[in-house]
Amino acid sequence: MTDATGDPKSFGICEFEDPESLLRCWRLLNNMTLLGSQLLIKIDAKSLEFIEEWREYKRTEWFEKQKKKGIEIDLEDFFNRERSGEIMDWEREIIGDKDTIFGKISEIIKNKNIVQNAVMKP
């Protein structure tokens, strides 16, 4: 695969075992700059339809839990923040801590570079 100038274009295909993994990838890695390139996470139409329905279910489930705890949610503010792309509290419960995940990614890249450098030395 090449770009408009004919230069090789990097890409990969992923399959996910569960909706949580897909959500984590999509919400944390989409548009992330990694090794000088911006990641673009594309989801096929069937998977996107599924994940949107699943997100609605999980969001509703989270609202119900908050209601049972007596916590009131400002829905207008909530949906404005969600539309802006902010990772919401209910998503954080599924995704985990962004800084921890990015730290693990950095560690993997660092270790990969150490191994590559060791292999390439004469």
Q: Report yes or no: 89 and 69 within 8 Å, Cβ to Cβ.
A: no
For residues 103 and 105, give the distance between their C-alpha atoms in angstroms, rounded to a whole number: 5
The two structure tokens encoding residue 72? 């009131």
Q: Give the pLDDT confidence of 54-72 residue by residue, as tens digits.
A: 999 999 999 999 999 999 9
Which pTM was predicted?
A: 0.71
Q: Answer whether residue 122 shows pLDDT above 60.
A: no
Nearest Cα to Cα of residue 50 among 81, 84, 16: 16
Which stretches within the chain are classed as H helix? 19-29, 45-68, 75-83, 89-95, 98-120
Query: In this structure, are strands 37-38 and 33-34 parallel, antiparallel, or unpaired?
Result: antiparallel
Q: Give the pLDDT confidence of 86-110 residue by residue, as tens digits.
A: 889 999 999 888 888 888 888 888 8
Longest dimension (CA), the chain: 65
Amino acid, single-letter form, for residue 15: E
Amino acid, single-letter form, for residue 99: D
Q: Report yes or no: 88 and 74 within 8 Å, Cβ to Cβ.
A: no
